[in-house]
Amino acid sequence: MIKTEGLSGIISDNRFGVRNRAIPSVFVTHQLRVLSGNTTWLSSKLHQKIISKFNECWVPDHNGTFNLSGDLGHVENFVSSVKYLGPLSRFKKHDVKTKYQLLVLLSGPEPQRTFLEQKLLNDLKYFKGSVLFIKGKIEAEQQREVIDKMVIYNFMTSKELELVINESETILSRSGYTTIMDLAKLKKRAFFIPTPGQFEQEYLAKKLEVEGIAPFCNQDEFDIKKLSEIKNYSGFEHQAYEINYKKLFGLF
């Protein structure tokens, strides 16, 4: 919720219940369409009905053909008032020397995170370049381990992640939308492995492959040789997006 003298309102990031009829309320999401397999039409309609109860819906993506979310964030004839913010990222691009040939960023629900961790740790033994491997396990203390050319952390802070992503030539990760926005901001090359059963990640990975930005494969199909496909793709190119904040927050 935002509130200043003479100004108040609610900004809700995918929280359905954070709304009040008495004050302006905004819903923030990239999911105007919710993918759920055979029931996509139903999950999308239900989500759109909830969104329509808010005064506005803010989508963190570009408007138009060149965008990151594709069909997820762009729906024709959607009655709600939709405004596009441009992709959002906590990171900034820095001009630094390349330190790692490959950065592995793991995340997501168990047990799939652990399955992928074990598979990649085994496969990357045969990778010839330097590897930074971040497991995505938030624990009480940060742990660091070195195995040959591979440096392994259980987790990193946002500030540390910003630095190592900038220092890395290629990123291997899940195809979650937040990750995609971050990599687009930092203009990175990537290889994606969608979380099994997550329709959104599978859709986004396929979209980026078709557009020639980044290759992907299913978790069970990955092997180290597939990383050579990255050279055939353009990688991300960040597109500047100017937001008129005075106009945007005029609602409040």
pLDDT in tens, 182-213: 999 999 999 999 999 999 999 999 999 999 99
Which of 51, 86, 121 is the endpoint of a domain?
86
- 12 in a structural domain: yes
* Domain shared by 219 and 157, yes or no: yes
SS3 percent helix, strand, coil of the chain, rounded to 5, is 35, 20, 50
**Domain with 107 in it:** 100-232
CA 219 – CA 211 distance, rounded (Å)? 21
CA 148 – CA 133 distance, rounded (Å)? 12
* Domain shared by 104 and 200, yes or no: yes
* Domain shared by 34 and 125, yes or no: no
* Domain shared by 220 and 131, yes or no: yes
Report, in angstroms and rounded to the nearest whole number, the Rg of the chain calculated over CA atoms: 20
> pLDDT (tens digit, 9 = 90+) per residue, 2-41?
444 444 555 656 556 666 677 788 989 999 999 999 999 8
- 248 in a structural domain: no
Q: How many domains does the chain divide into?
A: 2
Judge contact between 230 and 189, C-beta under 8 A.
yes
The whole-number pLDDT of residue 79 equals 66
* Domain shared by 150 and 80, yes or no: no
- 77 in a structural domain: yes
> pLDDT (tens digit, 9 = 90+) per residue, 105-158?
999 999 999 999 999 999 998 899 999 999 999 999 999 999 989 999 999 999
Task: Please give the model's pTM, rounded to 2 decimal places.
Answer: 0.90
For 138, list phi and psi in degrees, rounded to 5: -80, 115
CB under 8 Å to 231, separation ≥6 — which residues? none
